[in-house]
């Protein structure tokens, strides 16, 4: 693709992102089928009114060899909802607003396009309106989505910040939604680690929403992080756009972790989208008395999420291999080792014999055999093994333990 072609494609996709609502799969299929430029030309050349639309759609479907009447009907209805937005369409103006903010538009035809978003198929965004200096694809190469309730607790925010910090130390970018509560703690944790964090916004990237997080979101763009939206500057963050935005968060990470969520929470929707995308989902448990953890417990209870309690477990979920995996294994080993007792791993009869050997005084073999409930032969063999491993020693005519 020449630079000129890319400029034309970019402009067409910018226009499409204004014309359609996020996740419009009819538009996605159309643009994938004929390309964004031709698709836009076709749409803008059509008159309004049912007859013109029917005619235009028939011509397109004949050209694309789509005989299915259902598909034609869907396309006609789609055109009817796109046309009202063609009036006043001016992607150049929106691109110049973005440019003044230091931003840029990234399209699937770019090398910068994050590959995981293609998993969204026809529901993938038309383009990404991006603020921040970091390259998008590289920033999201190793990424985990951490999401959670706006109505969070100190416990949840602390846990979110710690996971975010730990993930940053292991080279993971965090992905969240820029909201109050858990989202904000996630972004803050990565910023504190000096690592990349990406906030997918439901409205335009010119609106640092919610207002209380404006400083935080600005700090994200000034570090190695990014603000990304699929809707153009000036777009309001509507409820439907919040719900659609969640699919970008779920798709952008190799795993999604819910840190805190009430029984019914938008974060559970994000988790469900991640499950649909075959992404592993984790949930952080909390006190059963905390309503802010009820949604996490619900995910665990319904088997839709794996229990994660620290950075290593999140890395494991996200497929973080190499050093992280080794570190996690070493930690597990050291946990096991710390809890290992000298008489662990004895065969059953020898364990019974060990139990029956007194600590404070010596006991004779017959007494040990009777107390242990083993045969005299097992008793002698067990005492022999225990003596070899240094757990018991002879004392006069009897035996006693060297350890408790």
Residues 129 and 98 sit within 8 Å (Cβ to Cβ): yes
**For its own copies, the closer CB: 225 or 295:** 295
Q: What is the rounded distance in angstroms from the CA atom of residue 271 to the CA atom of residue 167?
A: 19
**375 lies in the site for its own copies, by CB under 8 A:** yes
DSSP code of 219?
H
**For its own copies, the closer CB: 68 or 332:** 332
Structure tokens at 155: 């416990």
**284 lies in the site for its own copies, by CB under 8 A:** yes
Structure tokens at 376: 């005299």
| Residues in a beta bridge with 130 | 104, 228
Q: Which of 109, 119, 141, 355 binds its own copies (CB under 8 A)?
A: 355
Residues 6+ apart with CB under 8 A from 201: 177, 178, 207, 209, 217, 227, 228, 229, 237, 245
Integer angstrom CA distances of residue 404 from 210, 248, 347, 354: 61, 57, 18, 10
Least distance between its own copies and beta carbon 382 (Å): 11
Cβ neighbour number for residue 121 with a 10 Å cutoff: 12
**84 lies in the site for its own copies, by CB under 8 A:** yes
Binders of its own copies among residues 293 to 332 (CB under 8 A) are 293-294, 297, 300-301, 303, 306-310, 313
User: What is the bridge-based pairing of β-strands 143-147 and 256-258?
Assistant: parallel
Binders of its own copies among residues 149 to 178 (CB under 8 A) are 155, 159
Least distance between its own copies and beta carbon 398 (Å): 16
**For its own copies, the closer CB: 131 or 241:** 241
User: Closest Cα to residue 131, out of 206, 238, 211?
Assistant: 206
**352 lies in the site for its own copies, by CB under 8 A:** yes
Cβ neighbour number for residue 179 with a 10 Å cutoff: 25
Give the range of 95-103, 131-139, 191-199, 362-370 binding its own copies by CB under 8 A.
362-370
Give the range of 5-13, 140-148, 201-209, 288-296 binding its own copies by CB under 8 A.
288-296
**55 lies in the site for its own copies, by CB under 8 A:** no
**For its own copies, the closer CB: 147 or 284:** 284
| Chain contacts with its own copies (rule: CB under 8 A) | 19-21, 24, 77, 80-85, 87, 155, 159, 238-240, 262-264, 284-289, 293-294, 297, 300-301, 303, 306-310, 313, 335-336, 339, 349, 351-352, 355-356, 366, 369-370, 372-378
């Amino acid at each position: 693709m020449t630079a000129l072609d890319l400029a034309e494609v970019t402009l067409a996709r910018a226009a499409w992102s204004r014309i359609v609502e996020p996740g419009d799969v009819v538009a996605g299929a159309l643009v994938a089928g004929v390309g964004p430029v031709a698709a836009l030309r076709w749409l803008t050349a059509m008159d309004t009114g049912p007859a013109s639309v029917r005619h235009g759609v028939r011509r397109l479907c004949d050209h694309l060899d789509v005989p299915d009447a259902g598909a034609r009907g869907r396309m006609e209805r789609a055109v009817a909802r796109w046309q009202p937005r063609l009036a006043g369409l001016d992607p150049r103006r929106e691109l110049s607003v973005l440019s003044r903010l230091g931003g840029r538009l990234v399209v699937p035809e770019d090398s910068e396009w994050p590959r995981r978003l293609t998993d969204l198929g026809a529901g993938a965004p038309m383009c990404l309106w991006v603020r921040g200096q970091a390259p998008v694809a590289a920033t999201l190469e190793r990424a985990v989505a951490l999401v959670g309730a706006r109505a969070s607790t100190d416990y949840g925010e602390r846990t979110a910040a710690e996971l975010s910090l730990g993930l940053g130390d292991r080279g993971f970018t965090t992905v969240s939604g820029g909201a109050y509560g858990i989202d904000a703690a996630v972004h803050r944790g990565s910023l504190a680690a000096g690592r990349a964090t990406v906030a997918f916004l439901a409205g335009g990237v010119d609106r640092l929403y919610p207002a209380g997080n404006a400083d935080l979101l600005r700090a994200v763009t000034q570090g190695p992080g990014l603000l990304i939206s699929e809707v153009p500057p000036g777009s309001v963050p509507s409820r439907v756009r919040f719900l659609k935005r969640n699919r970008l968060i779920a798709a952008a990470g190799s795993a999604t972790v819910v840190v805190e969520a009430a029984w019914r929470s938008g974060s559970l929707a994000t988790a469900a989208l991640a499950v649909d995308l075959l992404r592993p989902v984790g949930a952080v448990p909390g006190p059963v008395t905390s309503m802010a953890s009820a949604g996490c417990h619900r995910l665990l209870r319904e088997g839709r999420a794996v229990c994660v309690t620290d950075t290593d477990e999140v890395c494991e979920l996200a497929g973080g291999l190499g050093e992280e995996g080794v570190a996690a294994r070493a930690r597990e080993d050291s946990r096991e080792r710390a809890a290992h007792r000298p008489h662990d791993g004895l065969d059953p009869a020898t364990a019974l014999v060990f139990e029956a050997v007194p600590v404070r005084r010596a006991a004779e073999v017959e007494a040990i055999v009777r107390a242990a409930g083993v045969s005299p032969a097992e008793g002698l063999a067990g005492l022999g093994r225990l003596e070899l491993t240094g757990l018991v020693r002879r004392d006069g005519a009897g035996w006693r333990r060297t350890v408790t």
